Amino acid sequence: MTPLRPLRRPPRLVPGDRVAVVAPSSPVDPDRLHRGCAVLAGWGLDVVVGRHVLDRDPDEPYLAGADAHRAGDLQWAMSDPSVAAVICARGGSGAARLVGQLDWAGLSAAPPRVFVGFSDVTVLHEAFASRLGLVTLYGPMAAAATFAGERPDDPTREHLRRTLFEPETVQVLRAEGAAGAAQGVAQGVATGVTVGGTLSVLCQGVGTPEGRPARGGIAVLEDVAEAPYRLDGMLSHLLRSGWFDGVRAVALGSWEGCATDAGEAVARRLAILDVPVLVGLGFGHGAPQVTIPLGVEATLDTDAGTVTLHRAALA
């Protein structure tokens, strides 16, 4: 099995660049969308919204419109040469239904551009990595609570802005607190390529063409509103499937809505790997929410509580 390698970096953004907002998953709150787009426009970006972003499927109301429409918006945004970045409006459910409907030959022929999202969008990060060889950003979305809720998180917004425009200023990601190592878990320093996302979505990808094992990687994991037994079961599934075989290190983000000690419990479950495990890195569904580039080489250091990118995420 070939170890993960660094992927192709899309260009960073500059004022005046066009950014497309799409909804590949669940329905979008119009007020949040408006606020999020206003923030992006305030950064000097030309914001365009996909035709079907505010749709809702009448038969399956957990989806932001029909599969064909959501896929069409994503295809347009990822292939239109005038678009420099694609930012998802929100996650939820349904992104996996689009992978088989996209014209991958057309996407492969298009210039690389920035792609941002998290949660259910994990499946698209995996697909763009495996099929397009593209670095993507696991970060806040245009209509997500941390970015555009009634009480948005300013550090979350600023970290995304710097990642998009000044990526060399955010190459060192720090865990919360003085120490980032979990008790009873291997500590140390390890280098690998960042891979991962939402734990439950990664589990669903095992056995699919886009599901990539973490060999040679730094696995970044987080989830939301999951019971302890569910987290344990998902970790056991990834361990038994071989997803973790050859992983170099693990970085754990927020476990919003899970048990208070969910991060430490996940770290203990992964102690069997005997690789460095960093907790509290602050990415995922909680706030503040740092933006994690996927597909870049980085070094994890549990003593320092850091993940340091070897190069800026965007060229």
Q: Which residues are catalytic?
A: 119, 222, 285
Residues 6+ apart with CB under 8 A from 31: none
Q: What Cα–Cα distance (Å) separates residue 147 from each residue in 51, 133, 286?
A: 22, 28, 11
Residue whose tokens read 């749709």:
55
Q: How far is CA 186 from the centre of its chain?
A: 25
* Cα–Cα distance, 259 to 3 (Å, whole number): 33
Give backbone dihedrals phi and psi of 204, rounded to 5 degrees, phi first.
Answer: -65, -25
Task: Kindly tell me the number of DSSP H helices and DSSP E strands found in the chain.
Answer: 9, 13
What DSSP string describes 239-298? HHHTTTTT--EEEE---TTS-TTHHHHHHHHGGGG-S-EE-----SSSSS---EEES-EE
Short-list 137, 179, 132, 169, CA closest to 277: 179
Strand partners, 309: 298
CA angle 20, 25, 27 (to 5 degrees): 90
12 neighbors 315 (Cβ within 8 angstroms)? yes
* Cα–Cα distance, 19 to 37 (Å, whole number): 10
